[in-house]
Structure 1
Amino acid sequence: MNRLTRQELRIAAVIALGGLMAVLDTTIVAVALPQFMTTFSASLTTIQWIVTAYALGMVAAMPLAATFAQRWGARRVYLAALLVFAASSAAAGVAGDLGWLIAARAVQGLAGGLINPLGMTIGFGAVSPERRGRMTTITGLPLLIGPILGPLLGGVLLDSLSWRALFFITVPPALLAVVGVLRWVPAETPSAERTPIDLVGGLMLVPGVVAVAYGFSEENTAVGVRAAIILIGLGLVAVFVRRSWGHRAPLLNVRLLRDRTFGRNAAVLVLYAAPYFGSMLLMPAYIQIMRGDSTMVSALMMVPGTIGMGLSIQFAARVLERFGPRIVVGTGLGLAIASTGLTALVLTPDTPYTVLAVLGVIQGAGTGAIMMPTIVSAGRNLLGPDLASGSAILPLASTIATAVGTAAVSATFTGLIATATGGRGLAALSEPAAGAALTAEIVSAYRVTLVGVLAIMVIALVVRLRTPSAPVTEPATVGSTA
């Protein structure tokens, strides 16, 4: 039997709790941006840094997780990250000015960026390779439902308490996770060899990935400037990869990408995360712009997908070892492709919400059968230092893909709307007469954007079908044979 023991379930629960706090804080403040503008008398361009500082902090920390884990132990660094996260959350909650709040959010992001990669390292290391799928059904759930639950929880807290509650709410769970780690996660045996920190690699990779993430996510900067920042970031990442390929102890073992199983699964993860998370902005835009409904209705329409995802993850974990990732993930991609295609076909200004909810369940079920099984398939045979590197590479790649996908979907949709409105863009749709006259053009913009999303998902399916499903083994680490 591949069921987790009671001790392993406790470890999984602790990791899931810590991971949920880190992921929630990526979206929980989004609903409060208008109130922040009023409270701090600042423009949206400035207020947006409350979100951006956290996101960039996460991206900056992720590449460091593997090196920190190897040098000081994943458990010790994980504990430190949870404590810093709790302290910075409290600091954000008592912030007296905007600068203080943005600084606290940046520190929050640095801690949050370490939590999930280290949690994956601890979780995968706590079980045998053939039971990593079971472990991921618990530890991976926050990565999928956190971004959806964030706006819901944020709206409730903002309506019933104040914006400060958005930050205080994560302090008790983070401290509870600290207690759980101290009680249930075994202390690691210190390594006899202290791995040197690749400072030069860090000075290339960390600014590089931050520049790429910033360039794709910062919409208030001129396009030319953003393009230059992205190119500089990509250049730094390319130099890091070239240098690290032959380095004895690189910041991240990029040679893992040469392994067909790890590399192609990482490609599937990126090719699905980019269009899926990017397209998540389309439904709220449709509900609020086309239908004229509230933010809360938008948030509630995300719930069916969350339900489908949660159920699918549990089922996928139980059949993954029996049928293999090619069938499980391939089926998930088929469901996601079908749901996206059907949404594009049935979308009109008055499509019943029940129809969209059913399609949301199907999309969520597909996503649950894709994301976590792909991560398990990529890392199922990684051991030792390679496990730490793989646990950092996968979430980092997914995070960057999400930023790129969101920017691409947003640019496509807004560009189509701008064309339909003669350059006036979304502002024209706030006028009832203009919005009614442009109904066909708006629906067309949604559909064309969804077709682009669909095309990338089809590519992901092709890559998945061509990816080998390696048997679970007890190999030497990939890095040692690369």
Structure 2
Amino acid sequence: MNRLTGQELRIAAVIALGGLMAVLDTTIVAVALPQFMTTFSASLTTIQWIVTAYALGMIAAMPLAATLAQRWGARRVYLVALLVFAAASAGAGAAGDLGWLIAARAVQGLAGGLLNPLGMTIGFGAVAPERRGRMTTITGLPLLIGPILGPLLGGVLLESLSWRALFFITVPPALLAVVGVLRWVPAGAPSAERTPMDFVGGLLLVPGVVAVAYGLTEETTGVVARVAIVVAGLALMAVFARRSWRHHAPLLNVRLLSDRTFGRNTVVLVLYAAPYFGSMLLMPAYIQLMRGDSTLVSALMMVPATIGMGLSIQLAARVLERFGPRIVVGTGLSLAIASTGLTMLVLTPDTSYTVLAILGVLQGAGTGAIMMPTIVSAGRNLHGPDLASGSAILPLASTIATAVGTAAVSAVFTGLTASATGGRGLAALSEPGAGTTLIAEVVSAYRVTLVGVLAVMVLALVVRLRTRPAPAVPVAEPATVRSAV
């Protein structure tokens, strides 16, 4: 029987709750940026740091999760991260000025960046390898529904309460997760090998990933400067990888990427996360700017994908062990490719929202059959210190891929839109006299952008189909696995 026990279900629920808080806060404030501009009398360039500070904090913390878990125990560090996250959320909600709010968001990001990697370590370590798929159907939900639920919840809170509610809303669940961890998650011991902290590795990797993320997402910086920042970040990451390959106790064990199972599944995860999450900015722009509908309508149109994901994840967990990740993930990728292709074909300035909702369900179903089974497949043979490293590498790779995908999709769509509007961009749609012809040309730019999205998804399918699973590494006793927690 691969079903989770009652105790394991409680552990999974607690981890999912903590992880959801971290993921929600990446997107929940996006709808409030115009109100922040008015409240703090600041430009969009400055206000954008409310989002950027959180994102950079998360990315800076993720590489540290494995080392912290190994030295002090994943449960202990997870508890501290939850408490810091709750305190920073309360601080953001009570902010009296913009500087205070941005600083609180940075601390939020640092704590939030630890929650999902440590949650994966705890979840995988709490069950035998054959039940990791079941565990991930619960613990992995925040990574999928959080980005979609965030704007919807943000819009509701902003209309019914105030911008402060966007931050206060995460305090009670975070504290509830603390209680759950104290009650249900076993107090495992830290690693018996008290290896020294890899400070040099941290000084290479953390600034490297932050520089890459900043260069890709900070649109107010000049193009030349952004390229230089990205190149510098990549150089630091390359030096870290070379050093980590030879170091006896690196910050992250990048040698895992040479393993056939872990490495290729990580590639599939990156190749899908980049185009999928990168293209999520297109539909809200289509609904709000090209069709003139409200933010709430835009958020509601994200719900069908969430429903499709939820159903698909549960089904994928039940068939993964029987059919294997090659078939399950391959089917998910085929479904995602088909729904994206159909969206590209049927999209017009007045396409039925019912049709788009159905395609959203299909896209969500495909995503649910891709992301979680890929993560489970990647981690199926990881134990002990390798489990901690793998649990940090996977979300870090996905986060960087999302930043790359968002930057690439945005650049292509912006370039095509500028060409279609004579250099005026999307702002042309709000100008007096913007007619149906101009809107149709911008929609055409959207469709052409989806061609590139489709191409990368197809590449992910090719890699998945060419990857055959390595034999599972037997584990003598589940208690050995749990000790890493």
TM value normalised by structure 1: 0.98
Secondary structure of residue in 1 paired with 2:267: helix
User: Equivalent residues in 2 for 1:83-102 (5 A)?
Assistant: 83-102=83-102
SS of the residue corresponding to residue 438 of structure 1 reads: helix
- Name the structure 1 match of 2:441: 441
Q: How far has the Cα of 1:288 moved from its partner?
A: 1.1
Shift in Å at residue 409 of structure 1? 0.5
Question: What is the letter of the counterpart of residue 103 of structure 1?
Answer: A
Does the 8 Å CA contact 1:261/1:378 hold for their aligned counterparts? yes
* Residue in 1 that maps onto 2:295: 295
Amino acid corresponding to residue 55 of structure 2 in structure 1: A
Contact map agreement 2:154 2:166 (CA 8 A) in 1:
yes
Shift of 1:440: 3.5
The answer to whether the 8 Å contact 1:288/1:295 transfers is yes
Classify the secondary structure of the residue corresponding to 1:422: coil
* Distance (whole Å) between structure 1 residues aligned to residue 99 and residue 267 of structure 2: 38
Match of 1:251 in 2: 251
Amino acid in the other structure paired with 1:162: S
Question: Which residue does the alignment assign to 2:455?
Answer: 455
| Inter-partner Cα distance in structure 2 for 1:341 and 1:154 | 30
What does residue 44 of structure 2 align with? 44
- 2:132 pairs with 1:143: no
Q: For residue 444 of structure 1, report the CA deviation from its aligned partner.
A: 1.7
1:65 maps to amino acid: A
Instruction: Give secondary structure in 2 for the equivalent of 1:433.
Output: coil
Give the aligned partner of residue 9 of structure 2.
9
Secondary structure at 1:380 match in 2: coil
Cα distance per residue 1:192-249 (max 9 Å; x no partner):
3212110000000000000000111111111111000000000000000011101000
Match for 2:115: what amino acid?
Answer: I
Cα deviation per residue 1:366-385 (whole Å; 9 max; x = unaligned)? 00000000000000110000
Amino acid at match of 2:66: A
Equivalences for residues 79-478 of structure 1 within 5 A: 79-431=79-431, 433-474=433-474
Structure 1: give runs of 5+ residues left out of the alignment.
Answer: 478-482
Q: Deviations over 1:371-414 (max 9, x none)?
A: 00000000011000000000000000000000110011111111
CA distance in 2, matches of 1:440, 1:138: 41
Matched position secondary structure for 1:349: coil
Comparing 324-333 and 442-451, the one that deviates more = 442-451
Distance 1:207 1:304 in 2: 38
Q: Deviations over 1:437-458 (max 9, x none)?
A: 3233212201110011000000
**In 1: Cα distance, 2:388 partner to 2:467 partner:** 22
Deviates more, 1:186-195 or 1:399-408: 186-195
Q: CA deviation at 1:321?
A: 0.2
Does the aligned pair in 2 maintain the 1:428–1:435 contact within 8 Å? Answer: no
The alignment partner of 2:434 has SS state of helix
Give, as a single letter, the amino acid of the residue that structure 2 aligns with 1:400: I
Q: Any idea what SS the aligned residue of 1:245 has?
A: helix
How many angstroms apart in 1 are the aligned matches of 2:217 and 2:475?
A: 39
- 1:189 Cα offset (Å): 2.4
Q: Matches of 2:151 and 2:337 in 1, distance apart? A: 26
Asked whether the equivalents of residues 70 and 190 of structure 2 are also in contact (C-alpha less than 8 Å), the reply is no
Residue deviations 1:127-177 (CA, integer Å, cap 9, x gap): 001100000000000110011111111111111111111111100100010
Q: What amino acid is aligned across from residue 385 of structure 1 in structure 2?
A: P
Which secondary structure does the structure 2 equivalent of 1:434 belong to? coil
What's the offset of the Cα at 1:435?
A: 4.1
* SS state at 1:262 partner: helix
How far residue 433 of structure 1 moved from its aligned partner, in angstroms, is 2.6
Tell me the equivalent position of 1:31: 31
- Distance (Å, rounded) in 1 between the aligned partners of 2:443 and 2:143: 31
Cα deviation for residue 424 of structure 1 reads 1.4
Amino acid corresponding to residue 240 of structure 1 in structure 2: F
Which range is displaced more, 191-200 or 92-101? Answer: 191-200
Letter in 2 for 1:451: V
> How far apart are residue 427 of structure 1 and its match?
1.4
**What do you get for the CA RMSD once the two structures are aligned?**
1.1
1:381, 1:475 within 8 Å by CA — same for their partners in 2? no
- For the structure 1 residues 435 and 253, does the alpha-carbon distance in structure 2 shift closer, same or farther, using more than 3 Å as the test? farther
SS at match of 1:242: helix
Tell me if structure 1 keeps the 8 A contact 2:95–2:101. Answer: yes
Alignment-mate amino acid for residue 195 of structure 1? T
In structure 2, how many angstroms separate the alpha carbons of the residues matched to 1:296 and 1:432? 24
Residues 398 and 190 of structure 1: CA distance in aligned 2, closer, same or farther (over 3 Å): closer
The 2-side partners of 1:408 and 1:97 are apart by 33
Relative to structure 2, which stretch is displaced further, 185-194 or 37-46?
Answer: 185-194
Please report how far the alpha carbon of residue 475 of structure 1 lies from its aligned counterpart in structure 2 after TM superposition.
6.4
> Could you report, residue by residue, the CA deviation over 1:353-374 in whole angstroms, capped at 9, with x for unpaired residues?
0000000000000000000000
Q: Is the 8 A contact 2:306 2:364 kept in 1?
A: yes
Unaligned runs of 5+ in 2: 481-485
**Residues of 2 paired with 1:297 and 1:463: CA distance?**
36
Q: Which amino acid aligns with 1:312?
A: S
Instruction: Provide the secondary structure at the position in 2 that maps to 1:38.
Output: helix
**Partner residue in 1 for 2:483:** none
In 2, the alpha carbon distance for the partners of 1:435 and 1:219 equals: 29
Provide the residue aligned with 1:480 in structure 2.
none
Letter of the 2:146 partner, please give it: G
What residue identity is the alignment partner of 2:158?
L
8 Å CA contact 2:69, 2:190 repeated in 1 = no
Identical aligned pairs, as a percentage? 88
CA distance in 2, matches of 1:284, 1:18: 27
Q: Distance in 2 between matches of 1:443 and 1:25?
A: 30
Give the structure 1 partner of residue 63 of structure 2.
63
SS state of the match for residue 246, structure 2? coil
Q: SS at 1:292's partner residue? A: coil
Q: TM-score, structure 2 length as denominator?
A: 0.97
CA distance in 1, matches of 2:160, 2:196: 50
How far has the Cα of 1:473 moved from its partner? 2.5
